[in-house]
Structure 1
Amino acid sequence: MMTSLLATTLLSTALTTPAPPSVLAADVQLAWTTDGKVRISWNETSPAPNTVVLERPGAEDLLLASPAATEPNTVVLAPDKLEPWGSTTDRARIVVSEPSGDVARSADFDRYRRAAAQAHISYRPNGDLAWSVPPDPVVDSTPNDPLDVAAPTTYGLRLMTGEQPWTYDRCRIEYTARTTALSGVITKQRPMEVIFLAWNEWGAAQLDWRLVSSSVVTLNAPASTPYGATATLTGKVATRRIFENPAPPNGAPPICLDEESGTRPNTTVVLQARDSATGPWYVVGSGKTDAAGNYKFPLRNPGAREYRTTVAGTTGTSPLQPGTSPARTVRASTRVVSAKFIQPAVTVGTRPQAYLWVDPAGTQQAALQFRNSAGAWQGLTYKTLYAGRGLVAFAWNVRGTFQFRWWIPGSTTSTRLPVDAVYSGPFTLKVS
């Protein structure tokens, strides 16, 4: 009977004793601060120590904070502390608990940062690099969650170059302006490390990475050749790359290297020309580099022109920018085909006949000169050429051996290219 009464009394006490009051009075609230951090807040009916965790399906809870009972019911964290993820399907929530087992949860939210995406690059005619990334295919699986921001994702690039100014011997780092566009243009034509980035409220996500090398094209050319003669243009195609060694041996400071990194064998080289310093470039021919990256263009000199060579860029995982050589001017001088006397030995009283044949074959007015007794060249007579040829007879009544030469003025070819004036080589007349 005593036992039964005791049991009844204990049961009655258990049923009538009120449960302890809830300490956490409301769900957890989430918001962004003005400086881009996440504010986590909750209310309590009485002070208690709390544990704040990030709860993620399929993963262990991530401890974020353990504020004491005397601390505010607010935690402010940088976004990366919540481990932003590349998928909106990865839902998460904040859970706040206290020692008695009372728990409060936030609404589900995503921590989406765009996942990797393959960038596309191409080159404009002037050599600038155009880039683009595909649209984001992901649809928000937690629309209007407490941490959603009504702002579009922006895109831009991080560029590392050997361009001055450096920072403590490290390569120069700069960022292009952010844009909501999925494309842009890089006007730098030099070796670069390019990182494609996307920004949203959760920070920057790296979409793609490229090490862009530049093409180095040299061009050697003669300053002038006779009109119609072979002018051989030569050069070499190589590459340059950017490289940073952040931790050289022996405690040396970081090193930024913008260096030549090899030749480009079997590469198509296009030879271009223009007729004046302001004229348009046009293609003259093309060829291939040899195993050492060298190329050669022999061509008939058609008159003074400016030349340059170009190579196209390549795309892919290790792109090469297009390259253009410095311009080189190759002038042309009038070609003397023949300058002589019809009879190089005559007697006094015979009129010598001086002959000239030049190319371009125009109507130039050539001047015949002789070397006088003082050793200086002196003008004697003129002859207007016909189709580049002319013959002139003159009186010469002094015995001896004498040297003559022609001066031929500059002219313009049928294609309006200039050809420079020239002196013929000396030729001899013997009078007896």
Structure 2
Amino acid sequence: MKKSVLLAVSAGLVAAALTATPAAAADPAPKNVKISWKDNTVQFVHVSWDDDGGLPNKVVTRREAGSAELGVVYVPAGGPDAVDIPAGTFSADSELEIAVSVGTEGGETSPATASPRFDTYRARPSDERKFTLAGDATVLVEWKYYEVTDTGTPNDPLDRPGSTLYTPQYRLHEGDKPVSLGEPSVGTFIGFGAPVPRSLFSVAARNEWGGYAGVDLTIGYAGLKAVIPAWAQVNSPQAKITGTFEPAQAQVVLQARNSASSPWYVVASKLFQNRQFEFDLGASGSRQYRVALPTIRDDAKSEGWFGGYSQVVATTMQQAGRASWVQPVVQRGATAKAPLIITPGLTSKAVLQRWTGTTWATVGSVSVANGRGEGVIRVTTPGRVAYRYYLPAASLNGLPYAAAYTPNFVLTTV
């Protein structure tokens, strides 16, 4: 009998071990999950559903079924079958869905039902943009209206066609807060006066999910600065016009006119690098100069620079001459010759002078043709005497040259 009892007890234990604990009955999944904007402010996404009344709900934002929960909202039992989720809490530039189940922080008691899928793509400006620099300071910019194509969730319940708004803006420096040039609108054109001396223009695009600013367009003034001499001798280090400008490179034009009432004409034009330029005046004559820098528009670099003119300077150019004795040492009674070379090749009457010990005295005039002349003297007094040529003012091709003296040259008579 004892053995039978033991078997009976053992059998009872085995039966109990093989019998499953009854599970709680699963709740039915919510139905008819819908999403929409709460109102025209597009600040909240309104989520609604239907279930068998009074049950708590778990509302999950996710990319797809089985993916990580990106956001969770719990609705207590007895609450409404709806919830408003701030738009700013959704992952940007994503394709999402909202799943609703019966459940609490402790877990779900029903399958989840997903809403229609939707995207949160932020607005982006179009890459198609063109600009024009007009007059001295007006910038005209036009761009193409553009909306992000959501191929994965076309025509979802939260799409708002035509909702992209553009705000033209500028900054004076990298990192500055943008300054708006107008209210957000669907417009795709603006004309404005360029902020000085340099600014970074862009178009910010924004929709209900946010947005981006486009590529900066650098707008500025060329900042032309020129150093033009008022007086220089031909072919000297001073016979140069130099200066700087703001763009990395620029086509710089040197202009001149022969008088204040005559028209300007181009002397030279050259593409300069490294924000600086230099023009060699060489042996050119006296005239008025200015430097011109044309307006620069570079689509490839997204840059625009307003050009301009430098100050006008009347430059007096002085001729240069040199001379020496063919034989710097001669005998008394000999003839000495002193060739003269003038730059540029002027035709004039030079004056040969000698130093008396107290003043310069005239020896005689010397005819100069095409920059060449020669003085000839006969010496009778022994000694060492300094000579020079005086070169009177003259003109070549209608341009005047200031008078000059040659350096002294010495003749020794023995």
State TM-score, norm by structure 2: 0.52
> CA 1:274/1:155 → structure 2, altered by over 3 Å: closer, same or farther?
farther
**1:94-173 correspondence runs (5 A):** 94-99=98-103, 100-114=109-123, 118=127, 120-126=129-135, 130-133=140-143, 136=146, 139=149, 141=151, 142=153, 144-162=155-173, 171-173=176-178
* 2:224 aligns with one of 206, 217, 227: 217
The match for 1:6 is none
Matched, 1:203 2:210: yes
The match for 2:61 is 54
> CA 1:62/1:297 → structure 2, altered by over 3 Å: closer, same or farther?
same
The match for 2:293 is 309
Write the deviation string for residues 10-29 of structure 1: whole angstroms up to 9, x where unpaired.
xxxx9xxxx87757464234
Matched, 1:36 2:42: yes
Which residue identity lines up with residue 312 of structure 1 in the other structure?
Answer: I
Is the Cα–Cα contact under 8 Å of residues 147 and 164 in structure 2 kept in the other structure? no
Is the Cα–Cα contact under 8 Å of residues 271 and 308 in structure 1 kept in the other structure? yes
Which residue identity lines up with residue 170 of structure 2 in the other structure?
Answer: L
Write the deviation string for residues 135-160 of structure 1: whole angstroms up to 9, x where unpaired.
54755555553222243423334422
Which residue identity lines up with residue 161 of structure 1 in the other structure?
Answer: L
> CA 1:292/1:136 → structure 2, altered by over 3 Å: closer, same or farther?
closer
The match for 1:298 is 281
Q: Using the alignment, how far apart are the partners of 2:52 and 2:270 within structure 1?
A: 84
> CA 1:150/1:28 → structure 2, altered by over 3 Å: closer, same or farther?
same
User: What SS does structure 2 have at the residue aligned with 1:216?
Assistant: coil
Is the Cα–Cα contact under 8 Å of residues 220 and 305 in structure 2 kept in the other structure? no
Matched, 1:174 2:179: yes
| 1:95 positional shift | 1.5
Q: Using the alignment, how far apart are the partners of 2:122 and 2:177 within structure 1?
A: 27
Is the Cα–Cα contact under 8 Å of residues 58 and 100 in structure 2 kept in the other structure? yes
State the structure with more CA Rg.
Answer: 2
* 1:329 aligns with one of 288, 312, 322: 312
Is the Cα–Cα contact under 8 Å of residues 290 and 312 in structure 2 kept in the other structure? yes
Q: Using the alignment, how far apart are the partners of 1:321 and 1:46 within structure 2?
A: 65
* 1:67 aligns with one of 75, 79, 83: 75
> CA 1:51/1:302 → structure 2, altered by over 3 Å: closer, same or farther?
farther
CA RMSD, 1 decimal: 5.1
User: What SS does structure 1 have at the residue aligned with 2:77?
Assistant: coil
* 1:81 aligns with one of 65, 89, 94: 89
Is the Cα–Cα contact under 8 Å of residues 225 and 330 in structure 1 kept in the other structure? no
> CA 1:52/1:148 → structure 2, altered by over 3 Å: closer, same or farther?
same
Is the Cα–Cα contact under 8 Å of residues 253 and 291 in structure 2 kept in the other structure? no
Which residue identity lines up with residue 101 of structure 2 in the other structure?
Answer: S
Which residue identity lines up with residue 55 of structure 2 in the other structure?
Answer: A
Q: Using the alignment, how far apart are the partners of 2:188 and 2:79 within structure 1?
A: 45
Which residue identity lines up with residue 39 of structure 1 in the other structure?
Answer: V
Q: Using the alignment, how far apart are the partners of 2:279 and 2:149 within structure 1?
A: 56
The match for 2:9 is none
Q: Using the alignment, how far apart are the partners of 1:281 and 1:181 within structure 2?
A: 43
Is the Cα–Cα contact under 8 Å of residues 39 and 76 in structure 1 kept in the other structure? yes
Which residue identity lines up with residue 316 of structure 1 in the other structure?
Answer: A
> CA 1:35/1:116 → structure 2, altered by over 3 Å: closer, same or farther?
closer
> CA 1:314/1:102 → structure 2, altered by over 3 Å: closer, same or farther?
same
Is the Cα–Cα contact under 8 Å of residues 171 and 200 in structure 2 kept in the other structure? yes
* 2:252 aligns with one of 269, 273, 278: 269
Q: Using the alignment, how far apart are the partners of 1:298 and 1:191 within structure 2?
A: 32
| 1:41 positional shift | 3.1
User: What SS does structure 2 have at the residue aligned with 1:51?
Assistant: strand
| 1:85 positional shift | 1.9
User: What SS does structure 2 have at the residue aligned with 1:80?
Assistant: helix
> CA 1:129/1:34 → structure 2, altered by over 3 Å: closer, same or farther?
same
Structure 2's unaligned 5+ residue stretches are 1-21, 104-108, 319-397, 405-414
The match for 2:272 is 289
Which residue identity lines up with residue 115 of structure 2 in the other structure?
Answer: S
| 1:101 positional shift | 0.8
Is the Cα–Cα contact under 8 Å of residues 48 and 69 in structure 1 kept in the other structure? yes
> CA 1:76/1:288 → structure 2, altered by over 3 Å: closer, same or farther?
same
> CA 1:200/1:284 → structure 2, altered by over 3 Å: closer, same or farther?
farther
Is the Cα–Cα contact under 8 Å of residues 80 and 202 in structure 1 kept in the other structure? yes
Is the Cα–Cα contact under 8 Å of residues 60 and 69 in structure 2 kept in the other structure? yes
Q: Using the alignment, how far apart are the partners of 2:206 and 2:148 within structure 1?
A: 15
Which residue identity lines up with residue 171 of structure 2 in the other structure?
Answer: M
Count of residue pairs the alignment pairs up: 288
- Indicate the structure with greater strand content: 2
Q: Using the alignment, how far apart are the partners of 1:121 and 1:106 within structure 2?
A: 42
> CA 1:85/1:189 → structure 2, altered by over 3 Å: closer, same or farther?
same
* 1:234 aligns with one of 230, 234, 242: 242
